[in-house]
Amino acid sequence: MITHDNGGQSELTYSKLSPARIIADHTSVDPAYEGQGVGLALVEALIADARAEGFKIIPLCPFVNAQRRKHPDWAACFDV
């Protein structure tokens, strides 16, 4: 989750299936920050965690899934 100066919040929610798999459920960006790369930053943080901790992401969130398709170098982090 990211908290913004204006008091708004942006977040990427997920459900943990096991230590090896999570489901990326939803990405929400504060309207004041849409189009500024906040959603991408959240997905990049999730990718960094997946690489560091060795879990796979099931991208049910449409935004996460769209980013997965745009970044083929992330393929090893996903379970699709």
HEC per residue, 48-60: HHHHHHCCEEEEC
Higher pLDDT, 71 or 80: 71
- Mean of all residue pLDDT scores within the chain: 92
* pLDDT for 1 beyond 60: no
**Residue ranges with strand state E in 1-80:** 2-3, 9-18, 21-28, 56-59
* pLDDT for 2 beyond 90: no
CA separation for the pair 39, 30 (Å, rounded): 10
Task: Kindly compute the dihedral angle of the four CA atoms of residues 28, 4, 40, 42, in this order, to the nearest 10 degrees.
Answer: -80
**Fold that domain 2-77 belongs to in CATH:** Aminopeptidase (3.40.630)
Domain range summary for the chain, segments of one domain joined by +: 2-77
* pLDDT for 32 beyond 80: yes
Interval 48-76: pLDDT, tens: 999 999 999 999 999 999 999 999 999 99
